[in-house]
């Protein structure tokens, strides 16, 4: 799991530093803190941060609304997975 400085994540995702830190605190992404303030993130977490940026800018909404949207998208994905598993497809 690679470690990233928050400033690098700002450049990679387009999000403000405050939003990234808030995403970590709210556990919107699954990050662990490493030495010297670096965040340990999977590629999926970086992709999720990019989705957060896109939702916030495209729809002009705050993190509370984005968090709800992401939770609903995650739930839909889980339900689809269960449906696929139970149908044997």
- pLDDT tens-place string over residues 39-77: 999 999 999 999 999 999 999 999 999 999 999 999 999
What does CATH list as the number for 3-87?
1.10.1660.10
pTM, to two decimals? 0.88
Q: What is the pLDDT of residue 89?
A: 59
Q: What are φ and ψ of residue 78, in 5° steps?
A: -65, -40
Sketch the domain layout of the chain as residue ranges.
3-87
Task: Record the tokens describing residue 8, joined without a space.
Answer: 């690098």
pLDDT score of 87 more than 90 = no
What's the order of all strands across the beta sheet hosting 32-33? Answer: 3-4, 39-40, 32-33
């Amino acid at each position: 799991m690679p470690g990233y400085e928050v400033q690098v994540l700002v450049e990679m995702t387009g999000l403000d530093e405050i939003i990234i830190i808030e995403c970590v605190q709210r556990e919107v992404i699954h990050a662990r803190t490493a030495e010297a303030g670096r965040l340990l993130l999977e590629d999926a977490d970086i992709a999720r941060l990019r989705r957060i940026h896109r939702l916030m800018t495209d729809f002009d909404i705050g993190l509370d609304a984005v968090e709800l949207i992401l939770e609903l998208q995650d739930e839909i994905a889980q339900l689809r997975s269960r449906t696929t598993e139970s149908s044997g497809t």
